[in-house]
Amino acid sequence: MARFKFGLFGTGRGIALAQDFLSLGCELVAMCDFHEARLNKAVNWLKTDAKCYDNFDEFIEHDMDIVILANFFHEHAPYAIKCLEKGIHVYSECISNGTMAEGVALMEAAEKSNAVYMLAENYPQMNFNMEMQKVIKSGNLGRIVYAEGEYNHPMHYEDLNMRRLYNYFPDHWRSWCPTSYYVTHSIGPLMRATGASPKKVSAFAAFADPVYRESDGIQVTDSAAIITTYNDDKSVFKVTGCAGYGAHGSFYRFCGTKGQIENLRSAPGTVMTRYNSWEKPEGSPVKLLYEASYDDPDIAKISKSGHGGSDYITARIFLESIEKGEQPPFPYNVDAAIAMSSVAILGHRSILEGGKSFEIPNFREEKWKEIYRNDTLSPIPGSDGTRPSIPCSSVPNSGPNEEQCKKFFDEIKDMPVV
């Protein structure tokens, strides 16, 4: 008998997520996607006879325990709410809510539901991040007072196959997503390792003049969001959101009162600890470099999973939470998920307002719910045709014009789905 029955909403990124749930003993019973070619690809790739839908409301009437939300990045909350209302467990990747009003609605749905909600943030489960978590937990570094998270994922504008995969129509979210929004990969590992939650956010954008590249349909012209948070334990984080400068990589650094630890930019899988000579642990050198690795009984399955094995471990955390009958640990629960989304959303508003500081709301409290209940401001077009209500870049209207966009999308329109 299957461990759980699950449905998949969104069959692009969702294919990889489904494979981990299958390897963890679950049964795929239904899939939903408006994109017929991607849905057909998922059927063939997963070799499944799961029932296919193109309508979400019909999809969630299917008999299942879990829904994996792998639809458009900024549109998870409305679907998560429908699942929670039906008592279906939710696995949401990556951002929990695309607007502040959705954050209020999601919290209220979670408060009323007995279902488990988990933000499927996988980067804390990278082997080097798990190693740094272990060292921090040992206490050898003292209290963590400052940490950095850098997630940098540039894409080659001339790689049309990649652009066709990631940005295949003019209002696709990736064309309009501000650099502060895709923040969970940079801040999630910091929150997981320290237990700190952001309370205030301020940000500036690093603007990249778009003239250097040919049009690729991308409206966002900022290269990175440089985001600072002040946290509930009086520590400070500095994170990038999703940056697009050279060169690719994910890097993290934790500074404590007694020492610090980071993964190296020259070798991301290598961890380095450093201490002052008078504060180093007994038997430890002042500086130590070593390779991080997984010490896990499921290593065979982990080694086959995406994102260095972190996808499998993240799914396992979710399933174990369901079996225990409790919400996932910090920072995957709904409170932390909405806090991260608030850093993303309010961080962008800080950029648009010259670095103004914003408080991160606690939507368990009625006063914050009422402040943001009707706040639907968004820089990203909606699937329902809703147009952006605020700029997506620090320099408004700096992206490609209508003629340039048409040229790009004409080039890729007949390319096959990959």
270-304: per-residue pLDDT in tens? 999 999 999 999 999 999 999 999 999 999 999 99
Structure tokens at 220: 């966002």
What would the pLDDT profile of 76-133 be if each residue is shown by its tens digit? 999 999 999 999 999 999 899 999 999 999 999 999 999 999 999 999 999 999 999 9
According to the model, what pLDDT value does residue 215 have?
A: 67
Residue 58 sits at φ, ψ, to 5 deg, of -75, -40
pLDDT > 60? residue 213: no
Residue with tokens 């193109």, as numbered in its chain: 54
pLDDT higher at 37 or 134: 134
Paired strand residues for 118: 91
Section 155-159 average pLDDT: 72
pLDDT-derived band at 212, boundaries 50, 70, 90: low
Paired strand residues for 91: 68, 118
For the chain, what is the mean pLDDT? 94
pLDDT-derived band at 414, boundaries 50, 70, 90: confident
Q: What's the chain's Rg over C-alpha atoms?
A: 21
Query: What is the SS3 assignment for 359-412?
Result: ECCCCCCHHHHHHHCCCCCCCCCCCCCCCCCCCCCCCCCCCCCHHHHHHHHHHH
Structure tokens at 80: 């998560």
Residue with tokens 């009707």, as numbered in its chain: 374
Share of the chain above pLDDT 70, in %: 96
Nearest in space to 40 (alpha carbons), one of 17, 67, 11, 72: 11
- d(C-alpha 243, C-alpha 71), whole Å: 22
According to the model, what pLDDT value does residue 211 have?
A: 60
According to the model, what pLDDT value does residue 25 have?
A: 98
- d(C-alpha 281, C-alpha 279), whole Å: 6
Asked whether the CA dihedral 226, 229, 235, 237 is positive or negative, the reply is: negative
According to the model, what pLDDT value does residue 247 have?
A: 87
Nearest in space to 32 (alpha carbons), one of 5, 6, 51, 47: 51
Section 182-194 average pLDDT: 98
pLDDT-derived band at 221, boundaries 50, 70, 90: very high
pLDDT-derived band at 60, boundaries 50, 70, 90: very high
Amino acid identity, position 39 = L
pLDDT-derived band at 416, boundaries 50, 70, 90: low
Half-sphere exposure of 50 (CA within 13 A, CB side): 33
Nearest in space to 214 (alpha carbons), one of 283, 172, 133, 157: 157
pLDDT > 80? residue 161: no
Classified as helix, coil or strand, 146 is: strand
According to the model, what pLDDT value does residue 131 have?
A: 98
According to the model, what pLDDT value does residue 360 have?
A: 98
Residue 413 sits at φ, ψ, to 5 deg, of -60, -30
Whether the CB-CB separation of 43 and 31 falls below 8 Å is answered with yes
All structural domains of the chain: 5-122+319-324 (3.40.50.720), 125-304+333-372 (3.30.360.10)
What would the pLDDT profile of 385-394 be if each residue is shown by its tens digit? 999 999 999 9
Nearest in space to 298 (alpha carbons), one of 9, 22, 13, 24: 24
Length of the chain: 418
Section 337-348 average pLDDT: 98
Q: In whole angstroms, what separates CA 90 from the centre of its chain? A: 15
Residue 409 sits at φ, ψ, to 5 deg, of -70, -25
